[in-house]
Structure 1
Amino acid sequence: MHRLPDDVSRELERVVRRWRELPADRALAASPAVRDVVQDLADATAGQPVPDLGPGVLIDQLRVLVWDAASAGVPELTERLADLRRSLP
C-alpha cells in the first residue's frame, strides 16, 4: 500500500492536529490513552512492545503504527482514531 485510505488519513491528521494543540501538561495527561492505542495497533500487527519515548515522540509512533495497521488490514481503524481524538482533552 502506497498511501493510507482517505478516511484513515483524514482522521489521523485530525488526531495529530489536536495533539499539537494540547498544552504540555494536557498532552502528558493524555499520553496513556494514546500509548494504549499505539500498543494495541502494535499488538495487532507486529506483536512487539513499543518503547515509551515520552509524549514528544508519541504522535510519531502513532503515525507509524497506523500505517502498519492499515497495511495489515486492522479493522475499524478510522473509528479507533476518532475515539482517540474525542478522548483528548
Structure 2
Amino acid sequence: MSGTRPAGSSSAGGPSAVVDTETERVVRRWQQLPLDRAGTAYPGVREVVQDLADAVADRTGEERAGVPDLGPGVVVDQLRVMVYDWRQAGLPEADLAGRLTALRRSLP
C-alpha cells in the first residue's frame, strides 16, 4: 500500500491522531480512578478490549478467542495491544476513534 503511514503514526487532525489522543486519555483516566470506581468500570473496559479483539480476528480470518482476564491493573495495557492489532489489521481508524471516545466517556 503506497502512500500509507506506518501503523500507529498520526497526521494532524486525522482519525489516527484522535486514536492516539483517546488511547492516552483512557489510560490517564483509568490510572486516576479510585479502586472502587475502577472495579465498577472494569467490565465495560474488558468488553471493549474483547470487542476489538473479535473485530481483529474477523478481519484477519483468525478464530475468535477470549482475551485473558488479567485484572484491572493490566486491562489498559491489553487495550493498547488491541489498538495496535486493530491498526495492523487495517481496520478503520475512525471506527476505533469512536469506540475509544465512547469508552473514555463511559468511565466514572
Question: TM-score, normalized by length of structure 2?
Answer: 0.77
Q: After TM superposition, give the deviation of residue 21 of structure 1 in Å.
A: 0.7
Q: After TM superposition, give the deviation of residue 3 of structure 1 in Å.
A: 2.2
Q: After TM superposition, give the deviation of residue 74 of structure 1 in Å.
A: 2.6
Moved over 6 A (4+): none
Question: TM-score, normalized by length of structure 1?
Answer: 0.92
Residue identity over aligned pairs, in percent, reads 61
Distance in 1 of aligned mates of 2:91 and 2:43: 21
Unaligned runs of 5+ in 1: none
Q: How does 1:1-89 map onto structure 2 within 5 Å? A: 1-4=6-9, 5-46=16-57, 47-75=64-92, 76-89=95-108
1:30-84, Cα deviation, whole Å (9 max, x unpaired): 0010000000011011322101010000010001001111222333100100000
Bigger Cα Rg = 2
SS in 1 for 2:50: helix
Unaligned runs of 5+ in 2: 1-5, 10-15, 58-63
Measured on the aligned residues, the alpha-carbon RMSD in Å equals: 1.2
Task: State the aligned residue count.
Answer: 89
Q: Which amino acid letter does the alignment assign opposite residue 32 of structure 1? A: P
Distance in 2 of aligned mates of 1:37 and 1:54: 14
Higher helix share: 1
- 8 Å Cα contact 2:53/2:67 also seen in 1: yes
